[in-house]
Structure 1
């Protein structure tokens, strides 16, 4: 919602201010289709040229993040801590019993209680792979933490591809606007024998290209790239929480302490309250009893 409001504010302020200053939209609207074909078409072509098919699809899908915002909400962080608490308790009570949950999480009654987490393959794989490594006596906490850091760094790099691709387009748009403007000037010079009124309109139309390139770069595409980046970084805290809890588990801290370590390392605006989480964990303990 806030993304749509931001776009509305940009258009109202830019074009509203232009019209209040006495500007006429007729010249802009007349030139806009042709300038958009040149600038937008060239930007799209450059984007396709610099990305593979997977990158194009991912970027098109990730644009929705500008309007949807982060995937993981406060309730999801609470559910993740509850899921990890259940799995840690099972692992410590019976490593054999844990296998049925981490080898086939899709049929695990524990994972089934948290469908949003179960639908995220990366979160499920991260949990299962780390617990599987611990069950194989691969229990050097520092080594496991290093492996997890490298894995999440790689995932983060791939997740930020869309932001980098959009930023590349934003960086190219002002120059493409100049290209369109130069073509407009060339067209104007070919009609130099026309009256000043006609030449003035032609020069104005040419300058629309420069305006459009800069406006799209800094008013839309650049902010889109920054928003996608901020959403990706925000969602990465969900996976960092998994690392914090499972590494604490490898240090053989009590299950409650492992969960509290994760809770305190969660960003404040999505951090479950201590009482809220304690009540949720108490409910799990009662179910298990």
Structure 2
């Protein structure tokens, strides 16, 4: 679990709700079902309208990355690639056949199978780079779902505010209806701006940060596999790959 994401969510919630409570408000006053459905339903509907189904579905799946990002163990992968280099130099690329069969990471599995087939280093890089950038591009497009939500949400909040004012002014002589309409107006605005700046935009940026780290990690894997294909000294390969690892 990404502890920083969890702490960020908790800190933002405590700061806003705690500040509201310190001003004498009650937290339950901020819950308003009609305003919530207007903002969330309107935002999701607008994003669904603009997005292809595959992109929207993948974007929803990426939300899990905020709390459980994909595992990228640079140190372990560098060690394994070094070991594969030793095996390939001693026994040939066929020694990696069982390793390729057992490997779970798709990029490594694909690269190891190409090594076993005797693919030249330049062709190996071309194939894996193409797959890497196409996959990264698909994930980047999926992450833009949350950018779109962050853009629509404040506007939908204003729509909710206007609807609340319409209700308030429709029967201005009734204090109860007037209060309910004004409440919807203000809470819808809070939901629209709050969801955009505390949820949708941070989620989009978090996913992009993870994708950038993943791209660097996968570039390291490709460089390691290409080095094995060129028959480079495993210790030299290890030192080269350490440059990809953050301090």
TM over 0.5: yes
- Who is 2:24 aligned against? 22
Q: Does 1:244 align with 2:223?
A: yes
Query: Which secondary structure does the structure 2 equivalent of 1:193 belong to?
Result: coil
* Structure 2: gaps of 5 or more residues: none
Across the aligned residues of Structure 1 and Structure 2, the Cα RMSD in angstroms comes to 2.7
Query: How far, CA to CA, are the matches of 1:119 and 1:57 in structure 2?
Result: 24
Contact 1:174–1:214 (Cα < 8 Å) also in 2? yes
Q: 1:152 is matched with which residue: 109, 127, 132? A: 132
Contact 1:162–1:228 (Cα < 8 Å) also in 2? no
- Who is 1:281 aligned against? none
- Who is 2:194 aligned against? 215
Closer, same or farther: CA 148–121 of 1 in aligned 2, 3 Å: closer
Query: Which secondary structure does the structure 1 equivalent of 2:222 belong to?
Result: helix
Q: Does 1:258 align with 2:221?
A: no
So what's the TM-score if we normalise by structure 2? Answer: 0.84
Query: How far, CA to CA, are the matches of 2:245 and 2:30 in structure 1?
Result: 49
So what's the TM-score if we normalise by structure 1? Answer: 0.73
CA shift for structure 1 position 124? 1.7
- Report matched runs for 1:103-114 at 5 Å: 105-106=100-101, 111=102
* Structure 1: gaps of 5 or more residues: 112-117, 269-289
Q: Which of structure 1's runs of 4+ aligned residues deviate more than 6 A?
A: none
- Who is 2:75 aligned against? 78
Query: Which secondary structure does the structure 1 equivalent of 2:67 belong to?
Result: helix
Q: Deviations over 1:126-160 (max 9, x none)?
A: 3433x257x24x344xx654554443222211222
Query: How far, CA to CA, are the matches of 2:28 and 2:177 in structure 1?
Result: 14
CA shift for structure 1 position 56? 3.6
Query: Which secondary structure does the structure 1 equivalent of 2:174 belong to?
Result: coil
Contact 1:90–1:97 (Cα < 8 Å) also in 2? no
Q: Does 1:124 align with 2:109?
A: yes
| Structure exhibiting the larger radius of gyration computed from Cα positions | 1
How many residue pairs were aligned?
245
